[in-house]
Each structure stands twice: as structure tokens, then as C-alpha cells.
């Protein structure tokens, strides 16, 4: 049986280009190019590196989104993935993270029915538009498998029963050994994503589209109505004021100048 890896990837607007409408506070998505979410490119790259190392690896990319998310699947396949699945249905449109992870869970359970068990699931740490970093951990919870987030180094043992990962923390790191199957969320330090290849672009690999019925998802748990989160307002934070350098030849002089400035601002 193949060693099955599932990568969940999201098509996102290129945030280098996107702007916020100052009047409505909503994102101006019109005319903005869509890209493979950055962390998801690292997730796919890690899956492909395992495929490079072992003979019998199958990499499947699953995305939930509108029909144009097929472009993302095309790109992932052109980089080396074996299969791409788009989950697209009006019923799942407007989903928040909870509803998104319900949809992805249902899609993965459908995939298992067709293909047998998966060994590893990768997601990115977070999407550059939603930025919540919730979908990966929620998905692992719903599937009942162990998870490690913020993975910056990865090693798989030769018999592929466990993986050892380095997990980034704010002030250090953790080295964790996890039994498979598990879900890992990846960050940019993990690897450098590869480019598409000509063979990949012209290859003949499978792309499927599933609707809500295909994945037998509970319709009361997906879509806008079922989503418990509401975006109240989006805005661009005001740029920070430049800092002030406190001058003085000695530490005492600097401290004195600092006190003068604070007094001037009536802070003390
Ligand atoms: C009320 C409401 C309505 C919304 N309506 C829409 C909408 O109509 N269209 C829309 O695009 N967004 C919509 N969103 C945003 C949506 O909630 C999030 O984009 C989505 O749930 C993923 O959350 P995130 O972007 O924070 O992902 P994160 O949790 O930051 O993503 C982590 C990782 O999960 C995986 N992942 C996340 N989303 C997907 C996906 N769709 N397919 C595959 N893998 C994925 C990726 O690997 C990603 O790196 C809505 C949000 C709210 C609150």
C-alpha cells in the first residue's frame, strides 16, 4: 500500500497587492492575483521531499474554494503532487475556520473511503489572508490524530512509523517525536519550495472536483450561516511613530535627558 500524504492548501489573494477599502474596511479583492498560500508551499515541498526519498509515496492536495482554486491544484501538480481535489460548493461558501475545518474533515474522510488510510497530513501554519492559524489544529482535533504546529525541521524515520520535528517557539524550540498518522503545520523556515517543472505542467495527473454531497458533509456545519465567527471590521493599523534616540555622553546624562523628555510629556 502506498504511503499517503495529504496536503491542505488554500488559494489566497496576493497580500503584497491587496488593499483595504478605507470606507468599508473590507478587502479590495478585485483584480488581485491569487497565489498558493506561502506556508502551504512549504507544506507541499515537505511532502514532495518525502516522495523524492521513498518509492511508493502518493501526495494528494485538497483545497476548498471557488472554481478558480483549480489553478492552485494545477500548480501543485506541476510541482510534483500526484492528485488534486477541489471541494467547491455554494453550501460551503462563506465558511469561517470552524466550518472550513468541518469541510476539510469531510473531504479527507471521503478520500479515505476511496483510497485507504493516510499516513501524514500537512497544512500551512496560517493563511496570509485569514491569518488565524486555526484550520490545521482544528482539523487534527476533528480527525482525532496528534498534531504539531510551527514545524521548522522535519525528519522521517526509515520505517516511516514516526517523525521527529523541531517546533518553533517564541523563545526557543521543541524537538518532538510523533507517531504516524499525524498532522503537522509548517512554516517558511522548513524548506525552500521548488518551482513547477515542464514535465509536471504537461503531465497527466488527476484533478477532481467534489461538491458538498460528494463529501457527505453535514450542511448544518458549513457555510456562512453555520459559521460562529463574524468579521466585525478590518483595518490597516496606523504606522508606528519613529522612535526617539536619547542623547548623552554618559549613562547618567542619558537618564537625565530621558527624565526631561518624560516630564515634558507630563508622564512623570
Ligand atoms: C463569516 C466569515 C465568512 C467568510 N467567508 C469567506 C469566503 O467566502 N471565502 C474565503 O475565502 N474566506 C472566507 N472567510 C475566511 C475564512 O474563514 C478563512 O479564510 C478560512 O476559514 C481559513 O481560515 P484562515 O484563512 O485563517 O486559515 P488558517 O487557519 O490561517 O490556515 C491554516 C492552514 O489551513 C489550511 N487551509 C485553510 N483554509 C483552507 C482551504 N480553504 N482549503 C484548504 N486548506 C485550507 C491551509 O493549509 C492553511 O495554511 C470567512 C470568514 C468568516 C468569519
What local confidence, expressed as pLDDT, does residue 121 receive? 98
What local confidence, expressed as pLDDT, does residue 53 receive? 96
- Tell whether pTM > 0.75: yes
What local confidence, expressed as pLDDT, does residue 26 receive? 65
Ligand 1 atom with least separation from CA of 93 = 8
Q: Hey, what CATH topology would domain 3-226 get?
A: Rossmann fold (3.40.50)
What local confidence, expressed as pLDDT, does residue 230 receive? 85
124 within ligand 1 shell (Cβ under 6 A): yes
What local confidence, expressed as pLDDT, does residue 268 receive? 82
Q: Which letter, b or e, does each residue of 156-167 get, where b requires 16 or more Cβ atoms within 10 Å of its Cβ?
A: beeebeebebbb
What local confidence, expressed as pLDDT, does residue 226 receive? 96
Q: Note whether 247 and 256 are within 8 A (CB).
A: no
Ligand 1 atom with least separation from CA of 12 = 11
135-187 pLDDT, tens digit per residue, is 999 999 999 999 999 999 999 999 999 999 999 999 999 999 999 999 999 99
Q: Where are the domains of the chain?
A: 3-226, 241-268
Distance 215 CA to ligand 1 centre (A): 18
Distance 108 CA to ligand 1 centre (A): 17
CA-closest candidate to residue 150, choices 180, 126, 177, 119:
126
pLDDT of 24 above 70: no
- Mean pLDDT (the chain) is 94
Task: Quote the CA–CA distance of 181 and 15 in Å, as a whole number.
Answer: 33
Q: Note whether 96 and 107 are within 8 A (CB).
A: no
**Angle of helix 135-143 versus helix 97-115 axis, rounded to 10:** 50
What are residue 185's DSSP bridge partners?
123
Q: Name the residue of 34, 89, 95, 187 to mutate for ligand 1: max ligand atoms within 8 A of Cβ.
A: 95
Cis peptide bond prior to 135, omega within 30° of 0: no
Amino acid at each position: 500500500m502506498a504511503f499517503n500524504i495529504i496536503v491542505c492548501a488554500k488559494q489566497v489573494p496576493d497580500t503584497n497587492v491587496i488593499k483595504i477599502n478605507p470606507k468599508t474596511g473590507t478587502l479590495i479583492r478585485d483584480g488581485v492575483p491569487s497565489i498558493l498560500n506561502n506556508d502551504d508551499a512549504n507544506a507541499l515541498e515537505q511532502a514532495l521531499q518525502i516522495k523524492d526519498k521513498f518509492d511508493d509515496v502518493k501526495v494528494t492536495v485538497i483545497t476548498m474554494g471557488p472554481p478558480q482554486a483549480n489553478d492552485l491544484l494545477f500548480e501543485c501538480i506541476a510541482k510534483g503532487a500526484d492528485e488534486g481535489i477541489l471541494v467547491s460548493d455554494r453550501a460551503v461558501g462563506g465558511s469561517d475556520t470552524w466550518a472550513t475545518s468541518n469541510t476539510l474533515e469531510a473531504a479527507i474522510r471521503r478520500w479515505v473511503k476511496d483510497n485507504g488510510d493516510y499516513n501524514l497530513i500537512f497544512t500551512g501554519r496560517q493563511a496570509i489572508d485569514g491569518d488565524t492559524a486555526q484550520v490545521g489544529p482544528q482539523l487534527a482535533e476533528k480527525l482525532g490524530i496528534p498534531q504539531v504546529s510551527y514545524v521548522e525541521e522535519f525528519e522521517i524515520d526509515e520505517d516511516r512509523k514516526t517523525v521527529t520535528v523541531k517546533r518553533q517557539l517564541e523563545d526557543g524550540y521543541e524537538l518532538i517525536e510523533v507517531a504516524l498518522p499525524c498532522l503537522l503545520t509548517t512554516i517558511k523556515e522548513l524548506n525552500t519550495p521548488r518551482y513547477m517543472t515542464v514535465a509536471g505542467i504537461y503531465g497527466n495527473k488527476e484533478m477532481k472536483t467534489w461538491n458538498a454531497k460528494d463529501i457527505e458533509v453535514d450542511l448544518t456545519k458549513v457555510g456562512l450561516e453555520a459559521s460562529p465567527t463574524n468579521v466585525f471590521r478590518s483595518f490597516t493599523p496606523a504606522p508606528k511613530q519613529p522612535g526617539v534616540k536619547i542623547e548623552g555622553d554618559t549613562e547618567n546624562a542619558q537618564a537625565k535627558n530621558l527624565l526631561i523628555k518624560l516630564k515634558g510629556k507630563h508622564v512623570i
